[in-house]
Chains A and B, each alone.
Chain A
């Protein structure tokens, strides 16, 4: 089969799985997972074929377009339904399909007792379709449709347990906050059309970035910011970050798939895809970098004190997304995508592992009621430890390479403030990840006495995906960043690592506008120093966490010191309370939108009910009354009408005569 059939199949298979499961899933009971998992599995296989073809240069420099049909042929407004695959898409396809497949497999075990089993798989398949459409879409409009579809799936899956009030509220919150960003994105797309007259992504970018002499009706910087607004919503950047932690109300596989590994990365993908637009608007890039690194710092500071295991991971996701945007903002697009891939796998792993922990201790998410789980659930423990080491940024795990690359690039691009904040965030990251491990797996058990004897390792169908995700979390960084043999020549690449080589054609245009020059990598120069700093801060964070929350690795044993933790947090009461209360953003939103906004709405309601309705009803009443009065003229007598006609005629003739005579 050729690529024209294979590429659409990647997205079509999950759609088929969704339709099938939505129609007959209810009757399949516990076998409802077979078709969806097979669909995603096949989709994965095809995606890998496509990815391999793309990365080995099978599509050439420009990538491969597959046109399906003319979607909207309306005069000057032409939109095609088409797919597009280049190396950036391929990089995303790897993460989306792989994590997607593993999450599907994991869900067979995790959701096995749920009455909504078939519904869950139907939604998951719909999500896979939407996400793949987002990545593969060739026009802004396709991407926007997919953008909304993933938002819908996110809503459906966060509120999967819709009888639980908190879940229903969280799903609504996610949906509404996302709408705020989407308005920006929609406006951005309209602005692109106004400026260029096309919605094809590459064509419009070419027009927007090449004709710099012609003044556009809408400045390119504004378009970049509008697109970034959409990315902020989906990727939960400050101030639209509030929905992501609440999204953890959904089932854990959903958190792993949508709210850690794929959907939240859509914003990063979007900005990376639109890189030449951002490159020609340096002010917008500074905004991106600033918001990104601020989100990273904010979220990391909150993650330090959270007690819900999933919330720690959620804030950590926020923080890492902030890193990615910081990288996008300084023009280190390769580093951002690298971090996206590394985080996709590592975060997916951590969330699935946390789900396994929650499963083991019978739906308890509070880390204060865990502890000492290492020996009882060894597979979960080991895989989660791998993920945490990666997150902390210890070489040679994937998380180290990607984070180091971001920090290094920001430094070399001259954004020293971004780099400095990034280093602080790196310490915090290492600290809170090992706080999580320490509280959950090490030390003495604080599990409920009733649950304690029933703790069990998850079934193999859940531990297998964990191990499969642990492999890329361990090796992906080496694989993608390693410049030399044997990997480079295998893909026909030499130089600065596989990923950089793959993505080079995607970013060439943007980098050209930006005027960046690839600096020679110098292990004994600035790069070496930066790497050492990265390792040093990661180690410092880990050691600090070990000191306070204990450690049990091999012979390395140390008890946690809860008293010292309390003493330390009592010393900075404001910071501690701010972190615990998430810097009061929910309260702020409540005040601004519910209290103040509610007052405004109440006034508007009053205005509507009294003034607007008063005018409308008044007009109605006047019309009715005058109609009643005028009805008397209608006597029903033929001669009255005839008289009217005669008088009218006389008036007409008389006025005509007057006009002629004068």
Chain B
């Protein structure tokens, strides 16, 4: 039996991916890396949703639709996020978030 091709395996993979994404978001100082970490977290969630959809018959249709919507939102979020980062970069001449301290003042 084992973990192969079971819901638990997918969920564990999704959890690991999410944890990596979280760690990346918290630890990386580069804004682009942080955005990528967010994408990783979103995709981890997406994986979990698709896994639910695949393994639980009741959720088959719902899982796919939600996954598609998450992708659309993730794309939109990436667009806006990148635009913001570029705007800040032009202003500050740095991609490092710990030098973005305008909120403090």
Contact = CB atoms under 8 A, between A and B. Distances in A.
A644 to B, nearest CB: 10
Given A638-B97, A639-B97, A646 B102 contact: no
Contacts of B105: 636
A657 to B, nearest CB: 13
Interface string A619-662: 00000000000000011111100110010000000000000000
A618 B104 CA distance: 28
A642 B25 contact: yes
B101 A646 contact: no
A634 B105 CA distance: 10
A439 B22 CA distance: 108
Contacts of A634: 103-104
A534 B103 CA distance: 96
A639 B104 contact: no
A631 to B, nearest CB: 9
Contacts of B98: 637, 639
A624 B35 CA distance: 38
B26 A636 contact: no
Nearest to B37: A642
Given A634-B104, A635-B104, A636-B102, A646 B26 contact: yes
* Chain B, interface residues (CB within 8 Å), range: 10 to 19
A128 to B, nearest CB: 69
B85 to A, nearest CB: 11
A125 to B, nearest CB: 66
B55 interface: no
B89 to A, nearest CB: 14
Contacts of B97: 637-639
A635 B103 CA distance: 8
Interface in B1-59: 22, 25-26, 29, 34
Contacts of B22: 646
Nearest to A635: B104
A642 B100 contact: no
Nearest to A631: B104
B26 A639 contact: yes
A643 B26 contact: yes
Contacts of A639: 25-26, 29, 34, 97-98
B15 to A, nearest CB: 11
Contacts of B34: 638-639
Nearest to B27: A639
Contacts of B103: 634, 636
B25 A636 contact: no
A364 B74 CA distance: 100
Which 8 pairs across A and B sit closest by C-beta, in order of nearness?
A636-B104, A636-B103, A636-B101, A638-B97, A637-B98, A643-B26, A642-B26, A639-B26
Interface of B: 22, 25-26, 29, 34, 97-98, 100-105
Given A636-B102, A638-B97, A639-B25, 12 more contacts: A634-B103, A635-B101, A635-B104, A636-B100, A636-B105, A638-B34, A639-B34, A639-B97, A642-B25, A643-B26, A646-B22, A646-B26
13 contacts: A634-B103, A636-B102, A636-B104, A637-B98, A638-B34, A638-B97, A638-B100, A639-B29, A639-B34, A639-B98, A642-B25, A642-B26, A646-B26
